[in-house]
Amino acid sequence: MERPDDRRASALRFATELVAWVATPWALSGHSWTLAVLALVVLIGLPTVFSTPGDKATVIVPVPGGVTILFVLLHLVAAVVSAWWLWPAWAAVPVTLLAGATLVTERPRWRWLPVVGRVTVGAVRHDANVTGRLMLLDTASLYFRAYFGVPDSVKAPDGTPVNAVRGLLDFIDRLVRDHRPQHLVACMDADWRPQWRVDLIPTYKAHRVAEEHEDAPDVEEVPDTLSPQVPVIEEVLDALGIARVGVAGYEADDVIGTFTARATGPVDIVTGDRDLYQLVDDARGIRVLYPLKGVGTLQLTDEAVLREKYGVDGRGYADLALLRGDPSDGLPGVAGIGEKTAAKLLAEFGDLAGIMAAVDDPGTRLTPSQRRRLTEAGPYVAVAPKVVRVADDVPLPDVDTALPRAPRDPAALEQLAKRWGLGGSLQRLLTTLAVGHE
C-alpha cells in the first residue's frame, strides 16, 4: 500500500519534472542557454528526496534512468525545432505532459532502471525500488528472552507455564506495530550446533550440550519449563500464517544470512545475538534490532553504531569476533587479542587476511607478542571464518513471507488460544496484523 509520504514524494517529483520540462523549450526559445542547462540538470541528475519520520529512513525518488534520458533527448529535439524553426514554444508542451505523466506513473514499475543519487537521513538508506521491508526474527533468541523476561506465573488453564509463548507473541505484536514490516519470517534453529561447524572447531557450543547423538543433532541444554513451550510456539505461528523457516543442518543465523543475501529491499533482523552484526549494511538498508530491555527498547544497530562501539563496520565485525573469541559459543579466539586490539589491527590492516599477511612481513608494525600469538593461532584462524560467518547459501524452501492479515487456520488458532490461555497476547497481535495493511 502506498503511504501518504510516498504520494507526497511522487507529487513533488511530478512538480519538479514538469517545471524542468516546460522550462527547457521556453529557455531555448529565448536563447537562455543557462536556464536550459539548469533545467536539464534537474531532469538528469537531481533526485527528489522525501524523509519518512516513522522509521528514520529515507525514500529516494530518483529522476534519472535510461527512459528518462530518452525523453530528455526527444524533448530537446522538439525544443530546438520550436526555437530555431520559429514554431511556438508551446508546441513542445504536449511532449512535456506526456513524458512527465509517463515517468510518474510508470517509473516505479521499471525496477531495472538505474538509481542515481542516494541520500541518508539518520543512518539507514533505502532505494526507490524497495517493495517492502522484510523483518527476520531470530526466534530462539527471542523466546529465550521472553522466557526469562516474563514471570513463570503466566500459565495455561491447566497450570502449564506459557510465559515464553505469550512473551513472544507480545514481542511480535510490538515489533509489527513499531516497524511496520511488509514481510515477516520466524527463523528457526533446525540444528543449533551443525556438525560441519563442530568438525572445524570441536569446542563450538560444546558446553551447552545436554545430550549427544550420533545420527541426530545434539540436544541443547534448555530450562525444563521452556522446552514444552517451543512446539506450542511453532503451532501458533503456523496457525497465524507467519512464515516459519528452519533448514536441516543449519542454524537460524544461517537462514537469516541467506534471506538477507537474497533480499532486494530493506531488512530488519531482530536478535539478541551480536554475531548477526556482521550482516549490517547501510547501503542495502540492513540493520539489526537488538533488544536492550524487552522489545520496547531496541538498539537500532547500523554501521554508525558499530563503528562507535567496535571500530568496525558490518563486514569487519565477523573478523573482530573471530579474533576476540566468544566463550558463549566456545570460540577460543586468539590469545592476548582482545576486542580493542582486534579493532586496532583491523583498522591498520583492513581485514583478517591483511592481518595474517602482516604476520609474515617483518616490515609491518606488529609487536613481537602479537606476531607470535597470531602465528600460534594460525590453525584456528584458518578454519574459524567458516564457523563464525553465517552461511548465505542455505537451500531455503519456497514460503509466503507476506505479513498475514488474518490467521491461516482460524479454527486451529482458536483451539490453541483456549488450550493454552493465550488471551490478550494473541488478541492484540491479531488486531495489529489486521490493521498492519491499512
pLDDT tens per residue, range 81-132: 555 544 455 555 555 555 454 444 333 333 233 333 322 222 333 333 335 8
Checking 356-363 for CB contacts under 8 A at 24+ apart, the result is 356/381
- Residue holding cell 519470517? 185
- Neighbouring-strand partners of residue 48: 61
Q: Following CA atoms 339, 345, 349, 353 in sequence, which dihedral angle do they give, to the nearest 10 degrees?
A: -60
Say what percent of the chain tops pLDDT 70: 69
Kindly report, residue by residue over 284-311, the tens digit of the pLDDT: 999 999 998 766 789 999 999 999 999 9
Range of the domain at 82: 4-109
**How many angstroms separate the CA atoms of 195 and 217, rounded?**
8
3-state DSSP call for residue 403?
coil
Mean pLDDT of 17-44: 60
**How many angstroms separate the CA atoms of 134 and 81, rounded?**
50
Kindly report the pTM of this predicted structure: 0.70
| Shared domain check, 255 and 169 | yes
Checking 319-323 for CB contacts under 8 A at 24+ apart, the result is 319/346, 319/351, 319/352, 319/355, 319/385, 320/346, 321/274, 321/275, 321/278, 321/388, 322/352, 322/381, 322/384, 322/385, 322/388, 323/352, 323/355
**354 in any annotated domain:** no
- pLDDT at position 93: 55
**207 in any annotated domain:** yes
Residue after which a domain boundary falls, among 109, 140, 157: 109
**How many angstroms separate the CA atoms of 425 and 159, rounded?**
17
**198 in any annotated domain:** yes
**How many angstroms separate the CA atoms of 17 and 26, rounded?**
14
Mean pLDDT of all residues in the chain? 79
| Shared domain check, 81 and 36 | yes
> Are 270 and 136 in contact, with CB atoms under 8 Å apart?
yes
Grid coordinates representing 18? 514538469
**343 in any annotated domain:** no
- pLDDT at position 71: 53
Instruction: Domain count for the chain, please give it.
Output: 2
| Shared domain check, 298 and 203 | yes
**13 in any annotated domain:** yes
